[in-house]
Amino acid sequence: MFSKLDQVEKRFEQLQQELQNPEITQDQGKFRQRMKELADLEPLVLAYREYRRVQSELQASQALLESEKDLEIRQMAKEDIRSLELQGVELESQLKLLLLPKDPADEKNIILEIRSGAGGDEASLFADELFRAYIHYASGKGWRVEVISYSPGNAGGCREVVASISGDKVYSRLKYESGVHRVQRVPKTETQGRIHTSTVTVAVLPEAESVDIKVDPNDLRIDVYRSSGSGGQSVNTTDSAVRVTHLPTGLIVTCQEGKSQHKNKETALKVLYSRLMAIEEEKAQKEASSHRLAQIGTGDRSERIRTYNFPQTRITDHRIGLTIHQLGEVMSGDFDGLIEPIAAHYQAEALKQQNQA
Residue 356 covered by a domain: no
- What lies within 8 Å, CB to CB, of 10 at 6+ separation is none
Q: Would you state the pLDDT for residue 85?
A: 94
Q: From the centroid of its chain, how far is CA 50?
A: 29
Residue 11 covered by a domain: yes
Indicate whether 92 and 163 sit together in one domain.
no
Least confident of 124-138, 192-206, 228-242, 256-270: 228-242
Residue 281's Cβ-side half-sphere holds a number of Cα atoms within 13 Å equal to: 23
Indicate whether 120 and 36 sit together in one domain.
no
Indicate whether 340 and 209 sit together in one domain.
yes
Higher pLDDT, 296 or 189: 189
- Find out whether 311 and 184 touch, Cβ atoms under 8 Å: yes
Asked if residue 232 has pLDDT above 50, the reply is no
Q: Would you state the pLDDT for residue 302?
A: 56
Higher pLDDT, 101 or 6: 6
Residue 355 covered by a domain: no
For residue 207, which amino acid is it? Answer: E
- Distance separating alpha carbons of residues 170 and 151, to the nearest angstrom: 24
Q: What is the mean pLDDT of residues 307-315?
A: 95
Indicate whether 135 and 25 sit together in one domain.
no
Q: Would you state the pLDDT for residue 264?
A: 87
Higher pLDDT, 272 or 291: 272
Q: What is the mean pLDDT of residues 107-131?
A: 92
Residue 357 covered by a domain: no
Indicate whether 189 and 293 sit together in one domain.
yes
- Find out whether 54 and 84 touch, Cβ atoms under 8 Å: yes
Q: pLDDT tens for residues 19-43? A: 888 888 888 888 888 888 898 889 8
Q: Would you state the pLDDT for residue 353?
A: 73
For residue 246, which amino acid is it? Answer: H
Q: pLDDT band at 298, cuts 50/70/90?
A: very low
Which of the listed residues 98, 124, 152 is the one where a domain comes to its end?
A: 98
Q: Would you state the pLDDT for residue 238?
A: 58
* Residues counted in the chain: 357
Indicate whether 172 and 285 sit together in one domain.
yes
- Find out whether 149 and 254 touch, Cβ atoms under 8 Å: yes
Query: What are the DSSP E strand ranges found in the chain?
Result: 110-116, 144-152, 158-166, 179-185, 196-206, 220-225, 241-246, 251-255, 304-309, 314-317, 322-324
Residue 114 covered by a domain: yes
Q: Would you state the pLDDT for residue 228?
A: 63
Helix axes 71-98, 336-356, angle to 10 degrees: 90
Indicate whether 24 and 154 sit together in one domain.
no
Indicate whether 170 and 219 sit together in one domain.
yes
Indicate whether 7 and 63 sit together in one domain.
yes
Which of the listed residues 63, 98, 133 is the one where a domain comes to its end?
A: 98
As for how many domains the chain has, the answer is: 2
Terminal CA-CA length for the chain:
14
Domain that holds residue 71: 2-98
Task: Check residue 103 and report its DSSP letter.
Answer: P
Q: Would you state the pLDDT for residue 317?
A: 95
Indicate whether 123 and 92 sit together in one domain.
no
Asked if residue 138 has pLDDT above 80, the reply is yes
Q: What is the mean pLDDT of residues 299-319?
A: 84
Q: pLDDT band at 177, cuts 50/70/90?
A: very high
Q: pLDDT band at 297, cuts 50/70/90?
A: very low
Asked if residue 181 has pLDDT above 60, the reply is yes
Residue 104 covered by a domain: no
Indicate whether 75 and 115 sit together in one domain.
no
Indicate whether 89 and 120 sit together in one domain.
no
Q: pLDDT band at 192, cuts 50/70/90?
A: confident
Which of the listed residues 42, 66, 98 is the one where a domain comes to its end?
A: 98
Indicate left, alpha or beta for 187 from its phi (over 0: left) and psi (-120 to 50: alpha): beta
**Between the CA atoms of 124, 127, 129 and 132, what dihedral angle is there, to the nearest 10 degrees?**
-130
Q: pLDDT tens for residues 66-109? A: 888 889 999 999 999 999 999 999 998 888 878 777 777 888 99
CATH number at residue 297: 3.30.70.1660
Higher pLDDT, 294 or 178: 178
Residue 331 covered by a domain: yes
Q: What one-character-per-residue DSSP string does 123-159 give? A: HHHHHHHHHHHHHHHHHHHT-EEEEEEEEE-BTBSEE
